Amino acid sequence: MEHPTYDRLVTRTSDAVAAGTDDDVDGTGVPVKGFVDHHHHVLLGTITATAVTTVKLQESDDDTTYTDIAGKSVSVADSGDDEVYSLRAGVEELKASTTHTRVRITRATANAVIDGAICVQRRMIA
């Protein structure tokens, strides 16, 4: 039995963002068409004690208005400095009308530094 072969496209979806609180950082939307899944990776730097930081995936049918994807979020502990947080969305988990996915980082209470974000998309080629 042969296993499928995949091609990967890596896209930077967010540049570094200085420490901040009470703001959301939205990654650039990446297209869904032609890909079997999306792996969004968020690189966080220093997180101040008492910070409330959340990383979540969102979907859109117009690359303008985004909604959260159920079950695709992670709460980051304030001891989670200098880590990479990864979330995956397969096409089977998205609404039929979804055209784009993106990552949203919510920072509240205390500072959290964002070092950047990337998305790795896979498509079957054989």
pLDDT tens for 23-33 read 889 999 999 99
The pTM is what? 0.91
End-to-end CA distance of the chain: 13
pLDDT tens for 86-107 read 999 999 999 999 999 999 999 8
| CATH superfamily of the domain spanning 6-124 | icosahedral virus (2.60.120.660)
Domain ranges of the chain: 6-124
Q: Using pLDDT thresholds of 50, 70 and 90, give the confidence band for residue 42.
A: very high
Write the DSSP assignment of the chain as a string of letters.
Answer: -PPP-EEEEEEEEE--EEEESSEEEEPPPEE-TT-SEEEEEEEEEEE-TT-EEEEEEEEESSSSS-EEEEEEEEEEPTT-TT-EEEEEEEGGGS-TT--EEEEEEEEESS-EEEEEEEEEEEEE--
Spatial separation of the C-alpha atoms in residues 113 and 47, rounded to whole Å: 6
The pLDDT value recorded for residue 1 is 65
Spatial separation of the C-alpha atoms in residues 102 and 99, rounded to whole Å: 11
The pLDDT value recorded for residue 21 is 67
